[in-house]
């Protein structure tokens, strides 16, 4: 394919002490087929050789990077979004995975028909160990594609995401006071403002599991539920506060139905025990494919930390 005809994709990557697997991740991005990639990295204050590796690739003209205070993953990616140059599409990268060569072009082919409106692609992934051997897992991964389900749980894995320019225009420059994770935020915003979310079950990414994962731990369904349970309990009402931020920043862009869904969820979650029970067992706030995630949502409301 001629260079002029190739789609331009900006890759946003946040790094932190990622020296061990970073080169493999970068090489797999550079080896993407039928797209022009531009890699922008924000280092979150690494103290290992991560910055030396980034400098090596920068000297070759293969990426640009900068560093700043340690903001943690979500805020680091929001900073990258604010600084992202204009492109046709944008993708988000971890520092330790391996992308199959058709990962980006597969996403773009599915996104193209939604170029006139905000759109997000999310895919499945293959769980592997640190040596890229496939792991046997009970993992059931499916990104939610309706706003009411996303309020319960987004199930959107950031390293599989590709978004179009219309969605980037809607998230750039927005600074939520509270945020659970960047992928959760972007996914909810996309659906809330009437955008399209495409879920693809094909596995175009090797999702590496190891002891030093920044977001840590295995990513099977049970592990995810336990991590979300722990995160939400330690950050009381973070999901409620994040939803409030969506209302604050996107009040005039949310569809009327989605505004009402968000407003009801916030009001009931801030209410008394009976109010929270009404929300917990309201059939509108239910993920069809996952009883476990529905139960996690219900537990969070009953124990008053959602």
Q: For residue 217, what pLDDT is reported?
A: 42
Tokens linked to 16? 């932190």
- Reported confidence tier of residue 234, pLDDT bands at 50, 70, 90: low
Sheet containing strand 63-67, edge to edge, reads 63-67, 35-43, 7-15, 89-93, 162-164, 119-128, 196-208, 98-99
CA–CA gap between residue 214 and residue 94 (Å, rounded): 9
Percentage of residues of the chain with pLDDT beyond 90: 85
Q: For residue 31, what pLDDT is reported?
A: 98
pLDDT digits (tens, 9 = 90+) for 51-84: 999 999 999 999 999 999 999 999 999 999 999 9
CA–CA gap between residue 112 and residue 117 (Å, rounded): 10
pLDDT digits (tens, 9 = 90+) for 246-264: 999 999 999 999 999 999 9
Mean pLDDT of 73-102: 97
Mean pLDDT of 47-52: 98
Total residues belonging to the chain? 306
Residue 204: which H helix or E strand, with range?
strand 196-208
State the chain's mean pLDDT as an integer: 92
- Reported confidence tier of residue 210, pLDDT bands at 50, 70, 90: confident
Q: 192-215: b or e for each residue (b if 16 or more CB lie within 10 Å)? A: bbebbbbbbeebbbbbbbeeebbe
CA–CA gap between residue 134 and residue 128 (Å, rounded): 4
Q: For residue 233, what pLDDT is reported?
A: 60
Mean pLDDT of 87-98: 97
């Amino acid at each position: 394919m001629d260079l002029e005809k190739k789609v331009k994709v900006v890759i946003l990557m946040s790094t932190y002490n990622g020296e061990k697997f970073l080169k493999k991740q970068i090489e797999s991005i550079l080896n993407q087929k039928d797209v022009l990639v531009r890699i922008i990295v924000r280092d979150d204050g690494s103290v290992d050789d991560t910055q030396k590796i980034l400098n090596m690739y920068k000297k070759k003209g293969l990426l640009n990077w900068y560093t700043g205070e340690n903001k943690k993953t979500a805020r680091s990616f929001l900073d990258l979004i604010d600084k992202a140059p204009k492109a046709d599409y944008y993708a988000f990268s971890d520092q330790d995975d391996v992308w199959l060569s058709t990962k980006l072009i597969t996403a773009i082919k599915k996104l193209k028909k939604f170029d006139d409106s905000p759109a997000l692609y999310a895919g499945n992934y293959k769980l592997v160990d640190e040596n890229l051997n496939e792991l046997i897992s009970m993992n059931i991964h499916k990104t939610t594609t309706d706003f009411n389900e996303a309020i319960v749980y987004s199930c959107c894995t950031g390293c599989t995401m590709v978004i179009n320019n219309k969605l980037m225009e809607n998230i750039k420059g927005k600074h939520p006071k509270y945020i659970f994770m960047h992928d959760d935020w972007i996914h909810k915003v996309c659906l809330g403002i009437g955008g399209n979310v495409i879920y693809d079950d094909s596995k175009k990414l090797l999702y590496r599991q190891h002891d030093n994962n920044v977001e840590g731990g295995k990513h099977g369904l049970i592990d995810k539920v336990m991590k979300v349970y722990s995160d939400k309990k330690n950050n009381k009402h973070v999901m409620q506060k994040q939803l409030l931020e969506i209302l604050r920043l996107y009040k005039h862009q949310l569809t009327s139905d989605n505004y009402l869904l968000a407003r009801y969820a916030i009001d009931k979650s801030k209410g008394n025990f009976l109010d929270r029970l009404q929300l917990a067992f309201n059939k509108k706030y239910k993920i069809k494919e996952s009883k476990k995630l529905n139960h996690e949502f219900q537990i969070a409301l009953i124990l008053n930390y959602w």
